């Protein structure tokens, strides 16, 4: 509100600053072709009058909302307890803040797809970053059909050729984990795999299997979890009941590795003396386990930054341009569980 109690207008700002309305608009919106003197005069006038730009009017002109969605097809319980999502959201929010853009979090649980797509068709956001997607959500095809600029963190099951993707080498990371276990002398190596309807879970399982088969070893010791600690404990119990002689485990997430270590301890099985474990993530859990967990560092921070960069570039070009694919390589972090 202005000093006289009414909402100040752009014209009043321009008059007080001694510039045209067009110059005042360019200065307020951070555009080029404004002299430093005019910029300073306009900002002084904005402060004196308490002027607030009309976002709705501006969006009609620019066709921008100033908002970017992060779409997570997961339950709120999962999103707010898994360190993967905390790191992802922190980095996306940080990257968007540098461009004065707002993050809009959209949780798309089963049954919410129609409501989600209705919202996105309304163009309430300028683009979307999508992560933790599943086989049956078909988000790549849907977002491509809507025409909304988007970038997927992790390759979708279908439609990946239609959207930009930032991914990590999950298969290569799993083969590296198995090699570490083999180098330590382990020969009965199991895996606690991630959900079979997620590409990350599938690809890490494939990498584990490929490396064991290349070494001529049994690749049948598989139990599935959902990337949570409790599911890791349950999967470990299943593996131990089926093969009491296993001596190594690759867990497809550090939370599942933590659950496995809890189950091993409850049975008096020592890590790494009896069973060695390698995890995947290094997002704050691995260094707090007992013993500290050897793991593959999930480069989610770098992936999120790159996803935002690609998305903003696509938004600036009106969503035109060929989809891009960038793959990061996870780094082995050696600790004491092997």
- Report the CATH number at residue 182: 3.40.50.2300
3-state secondary structure of 293: coil
Domain that holds residue 14: 10-62
Kindly state whether residues 51 and 71 are assigned to the same domain. Answer: no
Report whether the peptide linkage leading into residue 272 is cis, meaning its omega lies within 30 degrees of zero: yes
Kindly state whether residues 122 and 203 are assigned to the same domain. Answer: no
Q: What is the pLDDT along the chain (338 residues), one digit of tens a residue?
A: 455 556 788 889 999 999 998 888 878 766 567 888 888 898 898 888 888 766 545 554 446 789 999 999 998 899 999 999 999 999 999 999 999 899 999 998 777 778 888 899 888 999 999 999 998 888 999 999 989 999 999 999 989 999 999 999 999 999 999 999 999 999 999 999 999 999 999 999 999 999 999 999 999 999 999 999 999 999 999 999 999 899 999 999 999 999 999 999 999 999 999 999 999 999 999 999 999 999 999 999 999 999 999 999 999 988 778 999 999 999 999 999 99
The pair phi, psi for residue 4, each rounded to 5°, is -95, 10
Residue where a domain terminates, one of 44, 62, 80: 62
Kindly state whether residues 126 and 174 are assigned to the same domain. Answer: no
168: enclosing H helix or E strand: strand 164-168
Kindly state whether residues 286 and 176 are assigned to the same domain. Answer: yes
275: tokens are 């069973």
Give how many domains the chain has, as a whole number: 3
Asked whether residue 338 is domain-assigned, the answer is: no
Kindly state whether residues 183 and 257 are assigned to the same domain. Answer: yes
- Report the CATH number at residue 24: 1.10.260.40
List Cβ neighbours of 242 (8 Å cut-off, separation of 6 or more). 221
| CB-based contact 248:275 (threshold 8 Å) | yes
Q: What pLDDT is recorded for position 56? A: 46
CB-count exposure of residue 131 (10 Å: 0-12, 13-18, 19+) = buried
Kindly state whether residues 206 and 274 are assigned to the same domain. Answer: yes
Q: What pLDDT is recorded for position 33? A: 73
Kindly state whether residues 161 and 229 are assigned to the same domain. Answer: no
What pTM, to 2 d.p., does this model score?
A: 0.81
Q: Give the up-direction half-sphere exposure of residue 211: CA atoms within 13 A in the CB hemisphere.
A: 24
301: tokens are 């921070």
């Amino acid at each position: 509100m202005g000093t006289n109690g009414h909402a100040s207008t752009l014209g009043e700002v321009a008059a007080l600053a001694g510039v045209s309305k067009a110059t005042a608009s360019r200065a307020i919106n951070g555009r080029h072709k404004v002299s430093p003197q005019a910029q300073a005069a306009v900002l002084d006038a904005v402060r004196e009058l308490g002027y607030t730009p009309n976002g709705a009017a501006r969006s009609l002109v620019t066709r921008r909302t100033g908002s970017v969605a992060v779409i997570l097809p997961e339950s709120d319980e999962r999103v707010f307890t898994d360190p993967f999502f905390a790191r992802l959201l922190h980095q996306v929010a940080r990257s968007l803040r540098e461009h004065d853009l707002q993050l809009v979090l959209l949780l798309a649980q089963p049954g919410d797809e129609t409501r989600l797509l209705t919202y996105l068709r309304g163009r309430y956001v300028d683009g979307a970053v999508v992560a933790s997607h599943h086989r049956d959500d078909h988000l790549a095809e849907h977002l491509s059909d809507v025409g909304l600029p988007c970038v997927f963190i992790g390759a979708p099951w279908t439609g990946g050729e239609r959207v930009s993707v930032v991914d990590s080498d999950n298969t290569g990371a799993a083969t590296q984990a198995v090699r570490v276990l083999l180098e330590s002398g382990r020969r009965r190596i199991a895996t606690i795999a991630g959900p079979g309807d997620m590409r990350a879970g599938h690809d890490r399982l494939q990498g584990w299997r490929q490396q064991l088969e290349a070494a001529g070893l049994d690749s049948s010791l598989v139990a599935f979890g959902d990337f949570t600690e409790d599911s890791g404990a349950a999967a470990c119990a299943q593996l131990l009941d089926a093969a009491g002689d296993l001596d190594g485990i690759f867990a497809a997430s550090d939370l599942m590795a933590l659950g496995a270590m809890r189950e091993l301890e409850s049975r008096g099985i020592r890590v790494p003396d009896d069973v060695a474990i390698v995890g995947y993530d290094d997002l704050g859990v691995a260094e707090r386990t007992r013993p500290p967990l050897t793991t593959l560092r999930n480069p989610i921070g770098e992936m999120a930054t790159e996803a935002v960069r690609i998305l903003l570039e696509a938004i600036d070009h009106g969503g035109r341009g060929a989809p891009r694919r960038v793959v990061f390589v996870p780094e082995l972090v050696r600790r004491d569980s092997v």
